[in-house]
Amino acid sequence: MTAMVELRDVHKSFGSLHVLRGVDLDVRRGEVLVILGPSGSGKSTLLRTINHLEKVERGTVRVDGELLGYRRSGDRLYELPERDILRQRTKIGFVFQNFNLFAHLSVRQNITEAPRSAQRRPPAEVEALATRLLDRVGLADKAEAYPRTLSGGQQQRVAIARALALEPKVLLFDEPTSALDPELVGEVLAVVRDLAGGGTTMIVVTHEIGFAREVADTVAFMDGGRILEHGPPAQVLDRPAHERTRAFLSKVL
């Protein structure tokens, strides 16, 4: 069985800063992977390469077998035209730390925009989908509200519904609860947990160790632009092989 997400020797630099130093990663269909690691370890950058928000400089990213952002011909990778990259992105949902909801559009419009303009699906179908998704994240009564009037937790749940509206093959979460007040973290994690139970392939960058232990199928620990270890939560969290992982866990637990 092929991996849903497959990274091979991925490198990325910002100027002289070498952020990703050869990352290999396989995420199976339906797997929930939680990535842990200290700030600046490259977790977010790694996540952003998976939907080509950051271009990979060396190595390859494949989602559901399709090479992302490039077309291979012989020993060269040619960057795809933007149109193809946008099409690939509709198969990959992304949830941001700061929600990034469109402030001038209502909750409903936030959800229907991409299915309408990126996937060209019929309006009636998309409206029904938005209603269903809002119901699923527990915000059926907020369809006509503007994002600013919602709490952080509610905004993040709308952002998750917006990502789900494209019916993606994989969902990426970039520290989805880091910008939230502590008492709002639970409601967002409940939605993510619900999705995990439903068999969605997910990669979650987070600092919530308890969530990782409970929901993750596998946990990866990153440091210095590399994945130091990757395995079941019980192994990585309770019997880490690396000194770095132990030091990190002792600080956050």
Which chain residues interact with another protein by CB under 8 A?
Answer: 51, 53, 82-83, 86-90, 92, 94, 96, 98, 100-106, 113-114, 117-119, 146-149, 162-163, 166
Give whichever of 96 and 221 is closer to another protein, judged by the CB atom.
96
Q: Which position has the token pair 């009564």?
A: 141
Which of residues 106 and 131 has its CB atom nearest to another protein in the complex? 106
User: Which C-beta is closer to another protein: that of 84 or that of 181?
Assistant: 84
Closest distance of CB 158 from another protein, Å: 12
CB of 198: closest distance to another protein in angstroms?
Answer: 21
Q: Given the complex with another protein, which of 53 and 209 has the nearer CB atom?
A: 53
171 vs 236, which CB is nearer to another protein?
Answer: 171
Nearest distance from residue 159's CB to another protein, in Å?
8
Q: Which of 103, 108, 94 is nearest to 168 (CA)?
A: 94
Cα–Cα distance between 149 and 129 in angstroms, integer?
Answer: 23
CB of 234 to another protein, least distance (A): 33
Nearest to 139 by CA among 109, 173, 108, 177: 108
Measured from the CB atom, the residue of 133 and 228 that comes closer to another protein is: 133
CB of residue 100 to another protein, shortest distance in Å: 4
Cβ 177 vs Cβ 206: under 8 Å: yes
Instruction: State which residue, 60 or 97, has the beta carbon closest to another protein.
Output: 97
Q: Residue 173 burial by CB count (10 A; 0-12/13-18/19+): exposed, middle or buried? A: buried
The per-residue b/e assignment along 34-47, b for 16 or more CB within 10 angstroms, e otherwise, is bbbbbeebbbbbbb
For the bound state, the minimum distance from the C-beta of residue 95 to another protein, rounded and expressed in Å, comes to: 9
5 vs 13: CA distance, rounded Å: 21
How do the residues of the chain divide into helix, strand and coil, expressed in percent and rounded to 5? 40, 25, 35
In whole angstroms, give the CA distance from residue 46 to residue 111.
26
Residue 220 CB, nearest approach to another protein (Å): 22
Question: Which residue in 180, 168, 222 sits closest to 34, CA to CA?
Answer: 222
Give the residue carrying structure tokens 């990190």.
Answer: 248
